[in-house]
Structure 1
Amino acid sequence: MASRTFGHITVTTPDLDEPGIYLSMVETLDSPRGAVQEFAYRDVELRSLALAGGRLITGRVSGVRAKQVEFDALSLHGVEITSSDLGSVRWRESKLTRVHFRDCRLMGAALNGVALDDALFEKCRFDYATFEKVRATGPVAFVGCTFTEAAFTDCDLSGTVFSDSGLELTEFGGGRYRGTDLRGNDLSRIRGITNLAEVRIDPGQQTDLAQALVDELGITVGDD
């Protein structure tokens, strides 16, 4: 079983090359049986990709580019998604367990009611994305990702790790952030700082947070 450790958490990731797993190429991620298992889906360009009420179990998605993406009540378990562009994905009321996103573009994404458990997002772009009622029910890490002008609203990110990520003008709205690990990031331009009770930071980041608070409150600093 593969795993990666970030700060105080260890994320279990899909090990799709372990003995006994054989991935079969598929032409679609939709199935009348409701589940697609032990699959490989790659190198396709689509105008739209819509999946509802299904399950993707033990598989690899790579090189997929879609202009419009709609996922509703879609469960993922043991899935790796790499080098894909899920244009402005709308992802609602779903559960992602033991998933690994790497080098993916989810710019302008809207995630609502999504539960994350053993989820790793690595070098992904979430610029202008919105996260609403997203819950970390297990270990979650965002590593080397960008969140320019992204917004988190009514989320539970307790224990989540953000590492080496771009958080410029990222807004943390009301929610739960107890133990959220923000160490190793520039926090000087984040928004919603007053909502970040009980997060983890490095000693040197206190100056970043002070600058963010000054900007957010519109405080003028001067001696005249």
Structure 2
Amino acid sequence: MPKPVPDRLEELPYADLLRPHTGPLRSDARYDTVHFDGGEYTDLSAAGATFLECAFTGVALSGVKLRQARFNEAWVQAGRWVACDLADSEWQDALFAGGVLAGVTAHGSALRRVVFRGCKLEAVNLRAAVLRDVVFEDCLLRDVDFGDARLTDVAFPGSTLEEVRLRGATLSKVDLRGAAALGLPDGHQGLRGALISSTQLLELAPQFAQALGITVKDG
């Protein structure tokens, strides 16, 4: 699973190296140990940009294109990213905490050793994405699409899943036992390879029965 990530900016191993960002975001730019603090970026392109050991605090992105961007050891706190294009982006050893991802397109993206903590993900497209060693901790996932994605060593402790789609996904060691709620409109589709509790199995039983053509009737 992902290595522990500090909750406070000053605890980051590269905190003393961070320098404030000024100016717009640019496509194909390289940002190394940069602190993006409280800025608002709207309808611009930073496609192909690289963010290495960067911190984002209270940053709002709206309609920003970050297709094929790379985030390595990025730390995002209280961000609000709306209608952004993160398709084919790469995330490694990153934290996204206490923020919102809404209407985000991230299909084909690759996430490795990433933690989402206390976040709200709504209408997020992660189709055909690859997730390895990813944790969604105390998050709300609403209308999130993992269709045709590959999930390995992914966990959802304390998270609420509403309208989360897994149809066509490939799961390996995906732990759903700690989830507060499982709202899976596709039912059993895509659950092969997942670990669930006996209580969750009972909750999903009507969907399994329907898929198998079983009628359950008492009396």
Per the TM superposition, whether the score is higher than 0.5 is: yes
The alignment status of 1:140 with 2:148, answered yes or no, reads no
Q: For residue 99 of structure 2, what is the aligned residue in structure 1? A: 104
Residue of 141, 152, 155 corresponding to 1:158 = 152
1:84-110: CA deviations, max 9, x gaps?
111122211121111100011111211
Aligned to 1:128: 123
List aligned pairs for 1:77-96, cutoff 5 A: 77-96=72-91
Cα distance between partner residues in 1 of 2:34 and 2:212: 51
1:65 deviates by 1.4
Within 5 Å, which residues of 2 pair with 1:1-224? 9-11=1-3, 13=5, 17-18=12-13, 21-28=16-23, 30=25, 34-136=29-131, 138-192=132-186, 193-213=188-208, 221-223=216-218
Instruction: Compare the two structures and name the one with the higher strand fraction.
Output: 1
Q: Quote how far apart the aligned CAs of 1:31 are.
A: 5.2
Normalised by the length of structure 1, the TM-score is: 0.84
Contact 2:14 2:33 in 1 (8 A): no
- How many residue pairs were aligned? 215
Paired letter, 2:56: V
The one-letter amino acid paired with 1:132 is R
Distance 1:89 1:176, change over 3 A: same
TM-score normalised per structure 2: 0.86
Q: Percent identity?
A: 20
Letter in 2 for 1:175: A
Deviation string, structure 1 residues 22-77 (Cα, Å, up to 9, x no partner): 10001246358731111101112233242111210111111111321211110111
- Checking the alignment, whether the CA contact within 8 Å between 1:189 and 1:211 is kept in structure 2 is no
Secondary structure class of the residue paired with 1:164: coil
SS in 1 for 2:140: coil
